[in-house]
């Protein structure tokens, strides 16, 4: 299985290429990881200019020799590619798996909205640097190479699901890149935000008419929460229940996804 790896967002960390390649060679010998030269590109905040990142994505997505696209890392910037890349995807792109999370949620969402390929929220190559990162990336490689169901988030239960970073979701609301999520369970997670900012994003979720046909909402990991001054007085559970009531959909509890070592795989739709 040939898997193309590229960076669609922030400046990449190419120092992970050697360890993740070595791990894949030992644990998944049937996998051939091919890292695009664009992974080494720099253009200010980004892993190459918008044009460079778009060209790399289109090259690998449209190449029938690759069965999957695996994103190196997130950060910010994949949204800037959508209007360029989405109209240019060919039939080969429609047969691929696309796996990542965080900022890459922009691409995953746009692909799912147009029923292109198999978007999947799951660990990225850079997660090899986490503590016990080999187990983290094994879930991504195991799902792509072997459809290993042990990699899946355990609460999916056969329902159509989508997992997105909360800040990415709020940026997608009101745009043509947010798919129709009627009868889906939406899983949200977040990192490096203060509680008031999380509440502000939940306000957008709670008032989004595009989301009123959800089957329910689950909450993944919320990590590296910034300190509030004055201290925030509400729990995450209280906030989720409140805003789900505003949205008119059930809050279904926690999920094992997010910017953590335990991040599990969530295929968009039904696994």
pLDDT higher than 90, residue 271: no
| Contacts with 27 (C-beta within 8 Å, 6 or more apart), sequence order | 134, 138, 141
User: At the topology level of CATH, where does 2-151 sit?
Assistant: Rossmann fold (3.40.50)
In this structure, CATH architecture of domain 161-267: 3-Layer(bba) Sandwich (3.50)
Tokens found for residue 107:
């691409």
Question: Alpha-carbon Rg of the chain, whole angstroms?
Answer: 18
CA dihedral (154, 157, 158, 159) in degrees, to 10, reads -110
Q: Could you read off the pLDDT of 143-192 as tens digits, one per residue? A: 999 999 999 999 998 899 999 999 999 999 999 999 999 999 999 999 99
Alpha carbon of residue 174 to chain centroid: 19
pLDDT for residue 202: 97
pLDDT higher than 90, residue 77: yes
**Residue limits of CATH 3.50.30.60 in the chain:** 161-267
Q: Could you read off the pLDDT of 94-148 as tens digits, one per residue? A: 999 999 999 999 999 999 999 999 999 999 999 999 999 999 999 999 999 999 9
C-beta separation of 235 from 265 below 8 A: no
pTM greater than 0.95 (yes/no) = yes
Rounded to whole angstroms, what are the CA distances from 135 to 12, 45, 172, 219, 264? 21, 29, 31, 22, 11
**pLDDT, average across residues 250-268:** 97
Q: What is the mean pLDDT of the chain?
A: 97
**Residue limits of CATH 3.40.50.10740 in the chain:** 2-151
Q: Give the C-alpha separation, 25 to 73, whole Å.
A: 20
Q: Give the C-alpha separation, 232 to 195, whole Å.
A: 7
């Amino acid at each position: 299985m040939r898997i193309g790896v590229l960076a669609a967002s922030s400046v990449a960390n190419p120092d992970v290429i050697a360890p993740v390649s070595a791990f894949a060679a030992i644990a998944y010998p049937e996998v051939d990881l091919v890292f695009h030269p664009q992974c080494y590109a720099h253009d200010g905040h980004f892993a190459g200019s918008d044009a460079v990142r778009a060209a790399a994505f289109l090259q690998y997505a449209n190449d029938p020799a690759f069965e999957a696209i695996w994103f190196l890392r997130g950060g910010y910037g994949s949204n800037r590619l959508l209007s360029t890349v989405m109209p240019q995807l060919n039939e080969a792109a429609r047969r691929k798996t696309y796996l990542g999370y965080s900022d890459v949620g922009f691409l995953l969402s746009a692909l799912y909205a147009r029923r292109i390929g198999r978007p999947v929220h799951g660990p990225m190559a850079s997660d090899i640097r986490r503590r016990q990162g080999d187990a983290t990336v094994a879930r991504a490689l195991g799902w792509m190479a072997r459809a290993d169901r042990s990699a899946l988030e355990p609460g999916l239960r056969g329902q159509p699901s989508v997992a997105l970073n909360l800040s990415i979701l709020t940026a997608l609301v009101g745009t043509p890149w947010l798919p129709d999520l009627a009868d889906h369970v939406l899983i949200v997670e977040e990192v490096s935000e203060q509680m008031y900012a999380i509440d502000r994003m939940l306000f957008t979720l709670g008032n989004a008419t595009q989301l009123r046909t959800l089957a329910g909402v689950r909450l993944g990991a919320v990590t590296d929460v910034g300190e509030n001054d004055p201290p925030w007085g509400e729990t995450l559970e209280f906030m989720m229940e409140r805003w789900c009531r505003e949205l008119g959909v059930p809050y279904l509890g926690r999920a094992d996804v997010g910017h953590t070592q335990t991040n599990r795989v969530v295929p968009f739709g039904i696994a």
